[in-house]
Structure 1
Amino acid sequence: MGITLDELNGIQLDVLKEIGNIGAGNAATALAKMIDKKIDMNVPKVQILEFKEVPELIGGEETPVCGIYFRVEGDITGHIMFLLALKSSKSLTNMLMARDDETEAMDEIEQSAIQEIGNILSGSYVSSLSALTNLNIKISIPSLAIDMAGAILSVPVIQYGQMGDKVLLIETELIEGGHQVKGFFFLIPDMESFETLLSSLGVLK
């Protein structure tokens, strides 16, 4: 039986938090290059949460969100989910397209843009993880869903329930001019991949 998030000790959690910090920094740099503007970043919050606590963090189960899913493959396997409140998604696409669209609806161009941004940001986290662990880690093509937080989060609960009820969550806040974007990055490795991940970081007990 593999190690689960419930069984991580303080040192292991600190290492995972450091990965979150480095990944968020790289994600901000990648986004700044993409839009050719300076991006400021607040210190990311990294925590282990129960799935049922996540919707409240985002604003409640009925909050409209964009969810971008990836399958993780290579030396470790699992899933990544990048969640943005719809308001933050609009801020991101406004940044990218240098416009100020206040509507909530997202057209096809904006959906494509947010998918690409999610791809770049998640790729930054995975690159950081890969560099720190010397593991070969790849992510699949992203798939995008726009729905209420409760509906989108019910998918990982069903799919990843065998891991227990908890998830590693990295909350990142990016600021550019008058735009403020809060994103939530979930890393959900398959059970056996936790041991691989922690062993490669030298912190497996």
Structure 2
Amino acid sequence: MEGYRRIHSTHLDVLKEIGNIGAGHAATSLSALLGKTVEMSVPEAAIVPFQELPDRMGGSENEIAAIYARVDGHTPGSVYFFANVCESERFIQSLTGKESVQMGMAKQSDLEYSAYLEAGNIVIGSYLTSFADLTGLQVSCGVPDLSVDMAGAIISHGLSRLVSQGDAAIVIDTHMKIEGWSISRNFGSILLLFDPEAFETLFRSLGVQVDE
């Protein structure tokens, strides 16, 4: 937990700013993809203990669509973009023009899978590009994958190699507004599971004081 204990409100403000810039880039790319105006913003960046992550996702049994990618470079770890399945279905309807979309476990078609994966990849890529631009750190993103499952199962799998290294993660919430239709004010979140030592590297690169 040492790396996480050193994170204060100032650090979270920096992460929120990175998130807002990334959200702006993602909104531009999604607008081009959809042919509609997309607005995105980041209302909050928070440190969330591992045991509370499923609650952050609507509960352990809440079905979510999560896109995962490995992050390598100066700040190794993992990045997730996740959203409630119902909201994900509405989002894919806008992407594909289909009237009926099913993203539940083992229900999505190849088209729906590909559409959501592409959109999530845009969001993740935009956030990581913003992260790299503002920090000057080198980061690379692995090939993303999509999993639709209960939040508890997805989190358990994602934390399997980290439980001995830390006990909290960074969650960056995302608000999205799409021209012509209503979407939940809070749509999707970015989950950063960086290796604990990576946080010192991140904040030092930004000139933020790290307590010893």
TM-score, reference length from structure 2: 0.88
Q: What is the CA deviation profile of residues 38-87 of structure 1, one whole-angstrom value per residue up to 9, with x for unaligned ones? A: 11335432111112222223222111111111111122211101111111
**Distance in 2 of aligned mates of 1:166 and 1:137:** 21
Q: Bigger CA drift: 93-102 or 126-135?
A: 93-102
**Distance in 2 of aligned mates of 1:17 and 1:59:** 22
> Which amino acid counterpart does residue 81 of structure 2 have in structure 1?
F
> Which amino acid counterpart does residue 145 of structure 2 have in structure 1?
S
**Distance in 2 of aligned mates of 1:43 and 1:13:** 12
RMSD: 1.9
**Distance in 1 of aligned mates of 2:128 and 2:2:** 20
Q: Bigger CA drift: 42-51 or 123-132?
A: 42-51
Alignment partner, residue 134 of structure 1: 136
Alignment partner, residue 161 of structure 1: 163
Question: Alignment partner of 2:163: what SS?
Answer: helix
Alignment partner, residue 83 of structure 1: 82
The count of corresponding residues between Structure 1 and Structure 2 is: 204
Aligned counterpart for 1:125 among listed residues 108, 127, 138: 127
Question: Alignment partner of 1:163: what SS?
Answer: coil
Q: Is the 8 A contact 1:81 1:186 kept in 2?
A: yes
Alignment partner, residue 190 of structure 1: 195
Q: What is the CA deviation profile of residues 66-111 of structure 1, one whole-angstrom value per residue up to 9, with x for unaligned ones? A: 1111111122211101111111221221111123325453212101
Unaligned segments of structure 2, at least 5 residues = none
**Distance in 2 of aligned mates of 1:42 and 1:14:** 14
**Distance in 1 of aligned mates of 2:165 and 2:115:** 32
Question: Alignment partner of 1:147: what SS?
Answer: strand
> Which amino acid counterpart does residue 111 of structure 2 have in structure 1?
I
Shift of the 58–109 alpha-carbon distance from structure 1 to 2, 3 Å rule, reads same
Q: Is the 8 A contact 1:68 1:145 kept in 2?
A: yes
**Distance in 1 of aligned mates of 2:7 and 2:43:** 20
**Distance in 2 of aligned mates of 1:85 and 1:172:** 12
Question: Alignment partner of 1:156: what SS?
Answer: helix
Unaligned segments of structure 1, at least 5 residues = none
Question: Counting helix residues as a fraction of each chain, which structure ranks higher?
Answer: 1
Alignment partner, residue 62 of structure 2: 63
> Which amino acid counterpart does residue 169 of structure 1 have in structure 2?
V
Runs of 4+ residues over 4 Å off in structure 1: none
**2:175 corresponds to 1:173:** yes
